[in-house]
Amino acid sequence: MPSLVDLSAALAQFDQPWQPRTVAMLNDYDVRVVHTKGEFARHSHPETDEFFLVLSGSLTIRMDDGDVTLGPGQLYVVPRGTPHQPSSTDGAQVLLVEPSATVNTGDNPGELTAERRVV
């Protein structure tokens, strides 16, 4: 039987921004939580959509066609291949759902690229 996941407890285990943690797996997908603060790398995921659900705080997703700003309880799906740059001035806690092999920086690896961590 699957384990209960306490998202608040999972988020309390770390505080580094832009370093997602996998808290559950669903088929070939990871359910991840992440702290955000400041600007993330502009990138895209050519093979998959990217699901963002804000748990607390505010997150802006900058895209060529316009920005999307999310607050607690709001979600947005960035379509596959769409260049985007998440940003959070004051910080946010976000839940992500994406294929397990997805790298957080997509097609733009760099200093913010995080290895997959399962908690």
- The hierarchical CATH code for the domain 21-119 is 2.60.120.10
User: 6: Cβ–Cβ under 8 A, 6 or more apart, which residues?
Assistant: none
Q: Domain map of the chain by residue range?
A: 21-119
Which one-letter amino acid corresponds to residue 21? R
pLDDT band at 85 (very low <50, low <70, confident <90, very high): very high
Report the share of the chain in percent with pLDDT over 70: 98
* Residue 2, pLDDT score: 66
Q: Distance between CA atoms of 41 and 14, rounded to whole angstroms?
A: 21
The token duo for 45 is 């995921």
Is the model's pLDDT at 63 over the cut of 90?
Answer: yes
Taking the model in full, what pTM does it have?
Answer: 0.93
Instruction: Give kind and range of the element (H or E) at residue 58.
Output: none
pLDDT band at 18 (very low <50, low <70, confident <90, very high): very high
Is the model's pLDDT at 94 over the cut of 80?
Answer: yes
- Output Rg (C-alpha) for the chain, integer angstroms: 13
